Amino acid sequence: MATVLDSHRPRRISFMLGTLVLAGALLVGLVFGTRLGLLMLVGAALGISLYHAAFGFTAAWRVFISERRGRGLRAQMVMLAIAVVLFFPALGAGSLWGQEVSGFVAPIGVSVVVGAFLFGIGMQLGGGCASGTLFTAGGGNARMVITLLFFIVGSLIGTAHFSWWMEWPAFAPVSLVHTFGAGGGIAASLALFTAIAALTMLMERRRHGRLEEAPRANLGQGRWLTGPWPLLLGAVALALLNFATLALAGRPWGITSAFALWGAKAFELLGGDVSQWGYWQSPANAAALESSVWSDITTVMNVGIILGAMVAATLAGRFAPTLRIPLGSVLAAVIGGLLLGYGARLAFGCNIGAYFSGIASGSLHGWVWLVAGFAGNMLGLRLRPLFFDRPPGDRTRAKTS
């Protein structure tokens, strides 16, 4: 009897967590508006998708750099292709189903290049990107909780230095949607995605002689609940859920602005004052600082991602946190988290807000972020042996970071 009860325990925990997500979404919706409540559910769906598909930007880039295996990068190109096809017409029209919409379009300057490069280093040391940190922490990875905490600290420090970085040279924001129109922007973007995917295939075949076969995934008999999912299914899900975010929030999916807000709120609870910092003097950021954290779209979605990943991990029977973390790994998580947070503020976003949603918005800064962030990953990969015993291309570690 004990065995039967133990086998049903993960499902009971999943049911409790799922109930918590629904209750939280209902409460947020009642207090702050229906759209915000729905966005918490979108966040939960993102967490489930990220976890079950093991859709990690960090691992995909590490495996390509070290082993020339490009399956993960090609999945990202599929995700981006779907996103621009959905986003560009809506952004060109300025509205979507009665909701005004706008993209993440930012200037291109020194801060973006430096910030994305630092973020790239942090990805390999911290063991994850912004989305990866959230879903792996929610999935029970205790080390990633350390990365998340210092991600928040780094974000706060980034807001303190934000005005200084904004004084460095920068070009005006460039939008492919406004420059070429929705159709032209889609054509240009798809050509770039195709070129990147073709390059990964060429390099992979040159190194290994053939392309890596994707593991077969059976989604029958409820396996879609317990996972794992095919990587491409994760790519499609993330693109569709980002589009749902655009429809509900009026802007794309972002993550790290909430980390800066959490850090500022905590700092003020300890007696600090951030209101005079340049970052917090913009109308939107000042309003967020003065309002309840639960009225912040990014916060609500981030909480949804963490809870969704918890649901997915318990359904898969893999929620088993451990505090036995090597000292070198802890140190890498601290340094990586600080670089992730600081870099994201300088670069107007992370792998989600700047890379995924930036490119989906048609912003040229998203492409600059991709190049600089990838270069940072290359350096971060060289630094990993200073902290980790396993070789940087280890595939077992890649699955969790």
CA distances from 59 to 32, 132, 335, 380, 392 (A): 37, 9, 18, 12, 10
Which band of pLDDT confidence, cut at 50, 70 and 90, is reported for residue 397?
very low
**pLDDT digits over 179-202, tens only?**
999 999 999 999 999 999 999 999
At residue 398, the pLDDT reads 38
For residue 153, pLDDT beyond 50? yes
Using DSSP, state whether 101 is helix, strand or coil.
coil
At residue 10, the pLDDT reads 64
At residue 323, the pLDDT reads 83
Determine how β-strand 95-96 pairs with β-strand 170-171. Answer: unpaired
More confident residue, 6 or 53: 53
For residue 339, pLDDT beyond 50? yes
Least reliable range by pLDDT among 13-22, 118-127, 169-178: 13-22
Least reliable range by pLDDT among 259-268, 335-344, 380-389: 380-389
Q: What is the mean pLDDT of residues 305-314?
A: 94
Measured distance CA(335)–CA(133) in Å, rounded: 14
Q: What is the mean pLDDT of residues 319-338?
A: 92
Which band of pLDDT confidence, cut at 50, 70 and 90, is reported for residue 75?
very high
Which band of pLDDT confidence, cut at 50, 70 and 90, is reported for residue 394?
very low
Residue type, 293: V
Using DSSP, state whether 327 is helix, strand or coil.
helix
Which band of pLDDT confidence, cut at 50, 70 and 90, is reported for residue 4?
very low
Residue type, 184: G
Give the per-residue SS3 of 63-100: HHHHHCCCHHHHHHHHHHHHHHHHHHHHHHHCEECCEE
For residue 401, pLDDT beyond 80? no
> E strand or H helix at 109, and its extent?
strand 108-109
Measured distance CA(64)–CA(84) in Å, rounded: 24
Q: Are 300 and 36 in contact (CB under 8 A)?
A: yes
CA distances from 142 to 320, 390, 401 (A): 9, 19, 12
320, 307, 400: which is closest to 45 by C-alpha? 307
Which band of pLDDT confidence, cut at 50, 70 and 90, is reported for residue 216?
confident
Q: Are 73 and 195 in contact (CB under 8 A)?
A: no
Tell me how far apart the 2 most distant CA atoms of the chain are, in Å: 69
Bridge partners, residue 363, by sequence: 175
For residue 396, pLDDT beyond 60? no
124, 114, 213: which is closest to 166 by C-alpha? 114
The label of the residue with tokens 């003097």 reads 281
Q: What is the mean pLDDT of residues 86-95?
A: 96
For residue 336, pLDDT beyond 90? yes
Measured distance CA(230)–CA(52) in Å, rounded: 8
For residue 393, pLDDT beyond 50? no
Q: What is the mean pLDDT of residues 386-392?
A: 71
What does the domain layout of the chain look like in residue ranges? 2-214+230-400
For residue 83, pLDDT beyond 90? yes
77, 334, 354: which is closest to 198 by C-alpha? 77
Q: What is the mean pLDDT of residues 351-377?
A: 98
For residue 17, pLDDT beyond 60? yes
Q: What is the mean pLDDT of residues 222-236?
A: 86
Measured distance CA(383)–CA(66) in Å, rounded: 13
Planar angle of CA 24, 253, 321, nearest 5 degrees: 55
pLDDT, averaged across the chain: 92
Residue by residue, DSSP assigns 34-74 as HHHHHHHHHHHHHHHHHHHHT--HHHHHHHHHHH---HHHH
From the CB of residue 142, how many other CB atoms can be counted at a distance below 10 Å?
15
> What is the distance between the terminal CA atoms of the chain, rounded to a whole angstrom?
37
129, 127, 125, 132: which is closest to 54 by C-alpha? 132
Least reliable range by pLDDT among 52-61, 254-263, 365-374: 52-61
Q: How many separate helices (H) and strands (E) can be counted in the chain?
A: 17, 4
Measured distance CA(166)–CA(17) in Å, rounded: 42
Measured distance CA(315)–CA(306) in Å, rounded: 14
At residue 222, the pLDDT reads 64
Tokens (6 digits) for 123: 């990805």
Give every CB contact of residue 68 below 8 A, 6+ residues apart in sequence. Answer: 203, 204, 206, 207, 208
For residue 217, pLDDT beyond 50? yes
At residue 392, the pLDDT reads 41
Q: What is the mean pLDDT of residues 319-328?
A: 86
Tokens (6 digits) for 37: 């409540």
**What is residue 213's DSSP assignment?**
P
Q: What is the mean pLDDT of residues 29-36?
A: 96
At residue 399, the pLDDT reads 40
